[in-house]
Structures are given as C-alpha cells and as structure tokens.
Structure 1
Amino acid sequence: MSKKPIIIGVAGGSGSGKTTVANEIYCKFRNQDILMIEQDSYYKDQAHLPMEERLKTNYDHPLAFDNDLLLSHLQSLVNRLTIHKPVYDYANHTRSSEVVVVEPRDVIILEGILILEDERLRDMMDIKLFVDTDSDVRIIRRLIRDIKERGRTIDSVIDQYTTVVRPMHLQFIEPTKRYADVIIPEGGQNQVAIDLMVTKIKTVLEEKAIL
C-alpha cells in the first residue's frame, strides 16, 4: 500500500514572498517526488457571467475560490490519482478551457493567500506555514510586479491595493496566521527559516518512510 503524501500549506498576503518560499522548498526537494498546487489556479469559473460582472470580481475574497474543486483534487492526489488542474484566464476573468495534467507525488506544496481560511483545507495539511511580511514591503513588491509584468499604472495598482487588497488582507488573510504551525518573517529573504522548514519536512518524510 502506498504511503499518504504529505501536504505543506504556504500562506501569506499578496507580495509577502510566499511563492518564493514555496519555490525554495520545492527546489530543495527537486530530487524527491514533489509537486506544487497554486490556489490561484482555482478561481471560480465565471463563463456564465457577462464581462461587466466578471470585471467586478474581488480576487482577494474567499468566495472567489472554488475550494470544493481544490479539495476534490487534493483528495484525488492523496489517493494517488491524476488530476486536471484548471488554468485561469486573467484577461477574460474566467477559467480557461486548458488544463494541466498533474500526477500524484509524495510531497504536495499548496500555496495561496487564503489556503488557511478554509478549515477543510487546513485539516488536510501536515505542515502549515504563514509568510509574514510588513505591509509597506508587500505594496512595493506588488507595485513593481504589476507594473513590470502586467502593464498596470502606478495609480491603478495603488487604488486596487487601498480599496480591495489591504481591506481583504486585514479581514480575511491576516487572521489566518493563528492557524499556522510556523510563521516565517520576511518571506523568501529568510533563508534560516526556509532551511529550518526543509529540515522539518525531511524529518516528517523520514517518519513516513517516504525519503
């Protein structure tokens, strides 16, 4: 009988460095059986809505995510079944017709802003991390990213941050910190914390006789 995979949750606000932390951990175990699932892939399908309604989507709210599908896919991976991970089309604000075929692995990293908000997701995780970074650092990172990678203007990024991102962070994301097993300050820059997490994960894997 195959061993149950271990699931590592990496949460944190937008621009906190959670993706960097998740990628660092992923790279440390590249020779093992490991995969990454991004919560961003599981934004709800909005094909049934007119474009003007889709444009109003609050991507920082728990209701934006299809956690039922995410849970179903995680359960399939735990049961060693292949999944078809959705691909989100940000230009059209709905799910793409494309999918990514994901084979089951021994280690699953689940990364996203609100993965600790849903108790059902938390209950599936063996290790829960929260990347905690000061808000001024997060807004600067978001500014640079959105202007460089997404062609946004400074005004539009600041407006979105102050009207949506910051209030949602304070209301929904920050409170989930209390569910974390480990809080990592300063995200991907904190190599000591990442190395400690890698050591801990190795211990868990050895206990489960996966390594």
Structure 2
Amino acid sequence: MGTKPIIIGVAGGSGSGKTTVANKIYCKFQNQDILMIEQDAYYKDQSHLPMEERLKTNYDHPLAFDNDLLLDHLRKLLDREEIDKPVYDYANHTRSKEIMKQSPRDVIILEGILILEDERLRDIMDIKLYVDTDADLRIIRRLMRDIKDRGRTIDSVIDQYTEVVRPMHLQFIEPTKRYADVIIPEGGNNQVAIDLMVTKIKTILEQKLIL
C-alpha cells in the first residue's frame, strides 16, 4: 500500500488514564491494521552499568528514553518496514535481550508520558492527544496499581511520587500539554472525547483511501 501510516500520540502523566484512552482507541480499530508502540519499551539500555547505578534511574526524566531509536523505528514503520521493538526488563532495570518483531500498520498509536516533549516525535504525529487528570486521582491510581501489580508498599509509592514523579511531572510532562491538538480530561472515562477521536481518525483514514 502506497499511503503512509498515521501516527496518533497519546501523552499524559503517570496514572492519568492515557493507556486506557490508547487501548480504547485501539479496540475501535481492531478490524484494521493498527499497532501500539509504548514509549516505555524504549527506556535506554543500561546493561553496561552496575545494578546499584541502574537502581538510581529516574524513569520520569526525558533522558531515560532512547528517543533516537524510537524515532528511527517510527520512520521505518512510516516507510512500511519491519522493526525489532525492544522489550524492557524492569526486574533488572535494563533492556531485555528479547525483541518483538513488529510489522508496519495503517494506524500507529504512540503512547507514553513524554512523547510530546521531543519536537522530533511531535513532528511526525498526525494527532497529538494529552490526557489531563487531576493530581489526586493520578496518585490514587498509581498507589493502587503499584501495590496490587508491583508488590510495592504504600510508603515506597508515596516517597517515589513526592521525590521523583511529581517534580518530573511539573517540570517535563505538564508543560507538553500546550503541544496537544486535543486535551482529554479524566482519561478513559471520557467516552465522548474518545468517540470524537475515533471519528477523526476514521476521517483521516478515508482521506488516505485506507478505509
């Protein structure tokens, strides 16, 4: 197919509901060629560092991400080339030796906390979304997720939030809201906004003669 894929960026703070929004949009196009690329998969390889250094990684800082590789992979997908998507090993705080073969698709959803921070990434997106959710809801969601799914203690989650997550959100994530084409309040619960996005994406696809 000669037409280029479209890229939809879904950004927002940790616990904002951006993953839910991305998944709901994804589900609306399951009968089509669609794929999800998570910025989290592109955390930098730290295999050259000792474990004590890896443990100090600030995962909410722009420098934690290998955006050069992410950009290279997105450009390949736009050119209809296959990529080897990295897999991040959170237990060992470095990139896994595994990879995921990913074929190009008509629609690419790029999801992550800092995808709007890098101008190069913004420039190749067709639609830029920012999921905007109040800080109290975000910390509650993060608490519930990290305790239930990651075996964390309440104290450790709160310490990480106050020392790293919150200041990084205010410094790097929140300011990227101004780059968004659409701001979605309250994340995955905002069905009207999600339906509007789906309609807009279908319109773009129709214009590209994909549908």
1:200 maps to 2:200: yes
What stretches of structure 1 of length at least 5 have no aligned partner? none
Partner of 1:113: 113
What SS does structure 2 have at the residue aligned with 1:109?
A: strand
Query: Which aligned pairs between 1:152-171 and structure 2 lie closer than 5 A?
Result: 152-171=152-171
The Cα shift of 1:2 comes to 1.2
TM-score, length-scaled by structure 1 = 0.99
What stretches of structure 2 of length at least 5 have no aligned partner? none
CA distance in 2, matches of 1:140, 1:2: 45
What SS does structure 1 have at the residue aligned with 2:4?
A: coil
CA distance in 1, matches of 2:37, 2:47: 23
Deviations along 1:18-39, whole A, 9 cap, x unmatched? 0000000000000011000000
What SS does structure 2 have at the residue aligned with 1:98?
A: strand
CA distance in 1, matches of 2:210, 2:136: 40
Query: Which aligned pairs between 1:140-159 and structure 2 lie closer than 5 A?
Result: 140-159=140-159
1:102 maps to 2:120: no
CA distance in 2, matches of 1:203, 1:75: 23
CA distance in 2, matches of 1:148, 1:10: 25
Partner of 2:191: 191
The aligned amino acid for 1:67 is N
What's the C-alpha RMSD, in Å, of the aligned pairs?
Answer: 0.5
The Cα shift of 1:184 comes to 0.2
Query: Which aligned pairs between 1:67-106 and structure 2 lie closer than 5 A?
Result: 67-106=67-106
CA distance in 1, matches of 2:110, 2:164: 24
What SS does structure 2 have at the residue aligned with 1:9?
A: strand
Partner of 1:174: 174
Runs (4+) of structure 1 moved beyond 2 Å?
none
The aligned amino acid for 1:203 is T
Partner of 1:40: 40
Q: What count of residue pairs does the alignment treat as equivalent?
A: 211
CA distance in 2, matches of 1:134, 1:210: 37
CA distance in 1, matches of 2:13, 2:195: 21
The aligned amino acid for 2:197 is M
TM-score, length-scaled by structure 2 = 0.99
What SS does structure 1 have at the residue aligned with 2:105?
A: coil
Partner of 2:24: 24
What SS does structure 2 have at the residue aligned with 1:56?
A: coil
1:12 maps to 2:23: no
The Cα shift of 1:210 comes to 1.2
What SS does structure 2 have at the residue aligned with 1:46?
A: coil
Identity %: 85
The Cα shift of 1:105 comes to 0.3
The Cα shift of 1:209 comes to 0.9
CA distance in 1, matches of 2:2, 2:153: 50
Deviations along 1:115-169, whole A, 9 cap, x unmatched? 0000000000000000000000000000000000000000000000000000000
